[in-house]
Amino acid sequence: MKLCFVFWLLCLLLTSLTFTTFVYAAGNVTYDGRSLIIDGQRKLLISASIHYPRSVPAMWPGLVQAAKEGGVDVIETYVFWNGHELSPGNYYFGGRFDLVQFAKIQAGMHLILRIGPFVAAEWNFGGVPVWLHYIPGTVFRTYNQPFMYHMEKFTTYIVNLMKQEKLFASQGGPIILSQIENEYGYYENFYKEDGKKYALWAAKMAVSQNTSVPWIMCQQWDAPDPVIDTCNSFYCDEFTPTSPNRPKIWTENWPGWFKTFGGRDPHRPAEDVAFSVARFFQKGGSLHNYYMYHGGTNFGRTAGGPFITTSYDYDAPIDEYGLPRLPKWGHLKELHRAIKLCEHVLLNGKSVNISLAPSVEADVYTDSSGGCAAFIANVDDKTDKTVEFRNVSYHLPAWSVSILPDCKNVVFNTAKVSSQTNIIAMIPENLQQSDKGLKAFKWDVLKENPGIWGKADFVKNGFVDHINTTKDTTDYLWHTTSISIGENEEFLKKGSRPVLLIESKGHALHAFVNQEYQGTASGNGSHSPFTFKNPISLKAGKNEIALLSLTVGLQTAGPFYDFVGAGLTSVKIKGLNNKTIDLSSNVWTYKIGVQGEHLKIYQGNGLNGVNWTSTSEPPKGQALTWYKAIVDAPPGDEPVGLDMLYMGKGLAWLNGEEIGRYWPRISEFKKEDCVQECDYRGKFNPDKCDTGCGEPSQKWYHVPRSWFKPSGNVLVIFEEKGGDPTKITFVRRKVSGLCALVAKDHPSVGLLSEHENKIENNKNLPFARLTCPSNTVITAVKFASFGTPSGKCGAYLKGDCHDPNSSIVVEKACLNKNDCVIKLSEENFKTNLCSGLSTKLAVEAVCS
């Protein structure tokens, strides 16, 4: 079963569920000030963003299933206009863009369709087709005929497609909500009166589509009825919709953040994500969505920019490769279970809030049938608190929420993580797995000459805007000119080198002089313009200057973002007999794209349309070089990445499928801009818990398993500035081990089955659960200590207090098992061992 590789535990399920069509009852979706009401039933919903083109169809069922397994009820996706309407009226819904297929595999869950069709989403040009920018009179996202015409046309096309496929809830399909526009409230004022008119028009246009399910507009404070305004933020507990008749909906809770080439690796701790979600439901929230639950990959040139990485991992509960990220996924699963235990009374009861101590607040929900549920929050970001609630004492870690579905027993505290942590290994595999070995492994190589290839596109005095010229059909735009250097130039005698000085609006540039590579410069995620300033080699006589300007993803949002340009604005040479020469208004010859791209030599007939040179010693450090190799699929069925650490910058394909831009650009951040240890307490921001300062911003590039054949796969790489292709390897992403750290005072949310509980007959004790990926078992217990262990997963240490039987107990419960549970019970451990100290169990185990 090809799909089984993606998820541990789920294989059996997957086999039976993968392509089962669920039958939905026709659903009547309405709302009031408390919640959505589906067929007369109030709903408290946990939703998960999974963007269909950021994975591949073969991964979709596994991702959706892992969301369901994680306690999610709703999948949420944007619709990616520029992936669907390739030119006006020319639609595409194949492959990763098969929206209908994606919508049909919801495994009994609901779907929220954020049509946009502007989406931002760190996606190229915010999802709007580039061609629309070139229809005269078009200004994106404001009141003008061409934009509104095409926006309405596409929205209607999608709505009709969904209606035709019976995908709206009213038709018995999964779609319970649709979104029009996206976070427009931030920008409306920039467009003055037209902004307001446009927002109202968009709402009215959406409602007139008669989808019979409600529409939402996120971050849109003037959304007119019946459209619901919703919240996007790291915290939305204080959000209230602008009308009391609208439910409190959180469309984007960011469990991490995106990354840029040259940027850092953002992480949001599971404790803080859980805290934010619990606070939202504590304060009357009814629908919450993780943006992203699976971030995935910006394949090809779909990444927005400038500089969004090909990885869109997002530190999400399911990682880029489709593996549950633990403990985050598991901790949130337990949170969802705890919240669902309160669902009825939250939705149907009345609430009061009680201040229990400074910074400690309980919201207590009671209903007429005697039901009671309480959320107690300690919002102090430093101090733990002990409070009395209904005559019982509760201890709350700083910045945490305890959930009491019966107003007595804490089943979950957001700061107490019991879920296991996975240890992930990236296992390298030589490209060529066959017996022939690396020596016999051949690369096909093709070098492009710097500068104009074939016929020039045009000649012009001075510069053009890069984006206006390429119209984003490619990242690349060649500019060439020549200069004459007199014999009498001092630098020729001194052997010094003049300096080439280039100013650009963005995004990156490689410079060549007389066919020789001279250097690269680029902007960064926070600042797109840049200066190139390198000494160059010039000779007496005529010199050719060839400049390759690049875009690295188009702007995704912002006022008038469609008019943000890129490309060169000034080129000078300094150090020529005391004068600087300005080449800016020279005659420049232009060529759009590079030749191999134009010939599509990465796929189909294009592969054979050029004369490759076959060699077992491919050139290293050579700019503008195409490399092709025939490779076997890495063994096993773990997800696969391509390690490009030793390459420069470029594009990669496997079997004609676009892997995307690679650029292991070193993050320019200083060590102190990253953290060793992340304190989950206190308000999160994307710079709070970063790692990766001074490290390559993206080393591994996801290559979906379904793109591989067993052998004879064609890997093609276009290297722009120079790298070492012999060091490229595939890596298999594998869960190699597990850790668990559970304290005696951890609440037990009751995630064990009745059967598992009966076995030990001590129901509500905390426990550690270890689960290896499917088809693997625990083969060794590397560490086990009940007592006062310290340290982190991978580096636990025994404390002064340690039960010497710890390893025996854990081994007995877990060795040779795929899944095991160890209760912190009297039978297992000397629970009175460390008198007065709080005790816990730490375990590290190996799966194989």
Q: C-beta of 830: minimal distance to ligand NAG in Å?
A: 6
Of 145 and 526, the one with the shorter C-beta distance to ligand NAG is 526
Q: C-beta of 429: minimal distance to ligand NAG in Å?
A: 33
Q: Which stretch binds ligand NAG (CB under 6 A): 206-214, 220-228, 627-635, 649-657?
A: 206-214
Q: How many residues bind ligand NAG (CB under 6 A)?
A: 30
Q: How far apart are CA 436 and CA 298, in angstroms?
A: 34
Of 210 and 369, the one with the shorter C-beta distance to ligand NAG is 210
Q: C-beta of 284: minimal distance to ligand NAG in Å?
A: 8
* Alpha helix positions (H), 661-781: 754-760
Q: How far apart are CA 101 and CA 94, in angstroms?
A: 10
Kindly identify the residues of this chain, within the stretch 40-59, that bind ligand NAG according to CB under 6 A.
40
17-23's contacts with Cβ under 8 Å and 24+ in sequence apart are 17/61, 17/65, 17/107, 18/61, 18/105, 19/61, 19/105, 20/107, 21/104, 22/106, 22/107, 22/108, 23/172
Of 286 and 524, the one with the shorter C-beta distance to ligand NAG is 524
Q: C-beta of 673: minimal distance to ligand NAG in Å?
A: 8
Q: C-beta of 28: minimal distance to ligand NAG in Å?
A: 4
Taking CB under 6 A as the criterion, the residue among 408, 471, 527, 758 binding ligand NAG is 527
Q: C-beta of 524: minimal distance to ligand NAG in Å?
A: 4
Of 803, 802, 843, the closest CA to residue 827 belongs to: 803
- Rounded to 10 degrees, the C-alpha dihedral 66/69/74/77 comes to -10
Q: How far apart are the first and last CA of the chain?
A: 20
Q: The tokens of 5 are what?
A: 């590789």
Of 496 and 537, the one with the shorter C-beta distance to ligand NAG is 496
Q: The tokens of 434 are what?
A: 């066959």
Partners of 653 in the β-ladder: 658, 716
Which one from 183, 448, 489, 695 is the annotated catalytic residue?
183
For position 577 contacting ligand NAG by CB under 6 A, the verdict is yes
Taking CB under 6 A as the criterion, the residue among 243, 366, 430, 468 binding ligand NAG is 468
The C-alpha angle with vertex 298 and arms to 293 and 301, in degrees rounded to 5, equals 160
For position 495 contacting ligand NAG by CB under 6 A, the verdict is no
Taking CB under 6 A as the criterion, the residue among 87, 90, 210, 484 binding ligand NAG is 210
388 and 263 in contact (C-beta within 8 Å)?
Answer: no
Q: How far apart are CA 600 and CA 572, in angstroms?
A: 35
Taking CB under 6 A as the criterion, the residue among 805, 807, 818, 825 binding ligand NAG is 805
Taking CB under 6 A as the criterion, the residue among 381, 388, 582, 668 binding ligand NAG is 668
Q: How far apart are CA 287 and CA 263, in angstroms?
A: 32
Taking CB under 6 A as the criterion, the residue among 4, 11, 37, 58 binding ligand NAG is 37
Q: C-beta of 279: minimal distance to ligand NAG in Å?
A: 10
Of 315, 264, 260, 308, the closest CA to residue 670 belongs to: 264
Q: C-beta of 618: minimal distance to ligand NAG in Å?
A: 19
A 10 A CB-CB count for 780 gives 13
Of 329, 267, 291, the closest CA to residue 122 belongs to: 291
Interface characters, 264-293, with ligand NAG (x: CB under 6 A): -------------------x----------
Of 611 and 832, the one with the shorter C-beta distance to ligand NAG is 611
Of 15 and 353, the one with the shorter C-beta distance to ligand NAG is 353
Q: Which stretch binds ligand NAG (CB under 6 A): 100-108, 185-193, 204-212, 294-302?
A: 204-212
Q: Which stretch binds ligand NAG (CB under 6 A): 70-78, 106-114, 520-528, 730-738?
A: 520-528
Q: C-beta of 172: minimal distance to ligand NAG in Å?
A: 13
252 is catalytic: yes
Residue 492 burial (C-beta neighbours within 10 Å; 0-12, 13-18, 19+): middle
Of 81 and 786, the one with the shorter C-beta distance to ligand NAG is 786
Residue 383, amino acid: T
For position 208 contacting ligand NAG by CB under 6 A, the verdict is yes
C-alpha separations of 770 from 315, 357, 842 in Å: 22, 37, 11
Taking CB under 6 A as the criterion, the residue among 28, 245, 473, 753 binding ligand NAG is 28
Taking CB under 6 A as the criterion, the residue among 225, 388, 406, 490 binding ligand NAG is 490
Q: Name 803's Cβ contacts closer than 8 Å, sequence gap at least 6.
A: 785, 786, 787, 809, 829, 830, 833
Q: C-beta of 751: minimal distance to ligand NAG in Å?
A: 27
Helix %, strand %, coil % for the chain, to 5? 20, 35, 45
Partners of 640 in the β-ladder: 703, 732
Kindly identify the residues of this chain, within the stretch 334-353, that bind ligand NAG according to CB under 6 A.
352-353
For position 30 contacting ligand NAG by CB under 6 A, the verdict is yes
Taking CB under 6 A as the criterion, the residue among 90, 391, 393, 461 binding ligand NAG is 391
Q: How far apart are CA 5 and CA 300, in angstroms?
A: 24
183 is catalytic: yes
Which one from 181, 252, 271, 320 is the annotated catalytic residue?
252
Taking the CA atoms of 720, 723, 724 and 727 in sequence, report the sign of the dihedral they define. negative
For position 524 contacting ligand NAG by CB under 6 A, the verdict is yes
In this structure, are strands 790-792 and 795-797 parallel, antiparallel, or unpaired?
antiparallel
The helix (H) or strand (E) run that includes residue 155 is: helix 145-164
Taking CB under 6 A as the criterion, the residue among 559, 565, 656, 686 binding ligand NAG is 565
C-alpha separations of 351 from 283, 371, 396 in Å: 9, 12, 21
Q: What DSSP string describes 384-437?
A: -EEEEETTEEEEE-SSEEEEETTSS---EETT---S-EEEEEEEEE-S--STTT
For position 578 contacting ligand NAG by CB under 6 A, the verdict is yes
Taking CB under 6 A as the criterion, the residue among 804, 826, 837, 848 binding ligand NAG is 804
Q: Which stretch binds ligand NAG (CB under 6 A): 269-277, 524-532, 712-720, 734-742?
A: 524-532
Taking CB under 6 A as the criterion, the residue among 465, 544, 679, 811 binding ligand NAG is 465
Q: C-beta of 390: minimal distance to ligand NAG in Å?
A: 4
Q: C-beta of 838: minimal distance to ligand NAG in Å?
A: 20
For position 209 contacting ligand NAG by CB under 6 A, the verdict is yes
Of 613, 620, 612, 616, the closest CA to residue 441 belongs to: 616
274 and 539 in contact (C-beta within 8 Å)?
Answer: no
Q: C-beta of 207: minimal distance to ligand NAG in Å?
A: 9
For position 526 contacting ligand NAG by CB under 6 A, the verdict is yes
> Backbone phi, then psi, for 42, in 5-degree steps?
-65, 145
Of 72 and 809, the one with the shorter C-beta distance to ligand NAG is 809
Asked, as a colleague might, if the bond just before 397 is cis with ω within 30 of 0, I would say no
Kindly calculate the radius of gyration of the chain based on its CA atoms and give it in whole angstroms. Answer: 29
- Rounded to 10 degrees, the C-alpha dihedral 123/127/133/135 comes to 160
Kindly identify the residues of this chain, within the stretch 592-621, that bind ligand NAG according to CB under 6 A.
609-611
Q: Which residue is nearest to ligand NAG (CB)?
A: 565
Strands (E), 124-279: 175-180, 215-218, 228-233, 249-253
Of 11 and 564, the one with the shorter C-beta distance to ligand NAG is 564
The catalytic residue positions are 183, 252
In the complex, the residues that contact ligand NAG under the rule CB under 6 A are: 28, 30, 37, 40, 208-210, 283, 352-353, 390-391, 465, 468, 490, 524, 526-527, 563, 565, 577-578, 609-611, 668-669, 804-805, 830
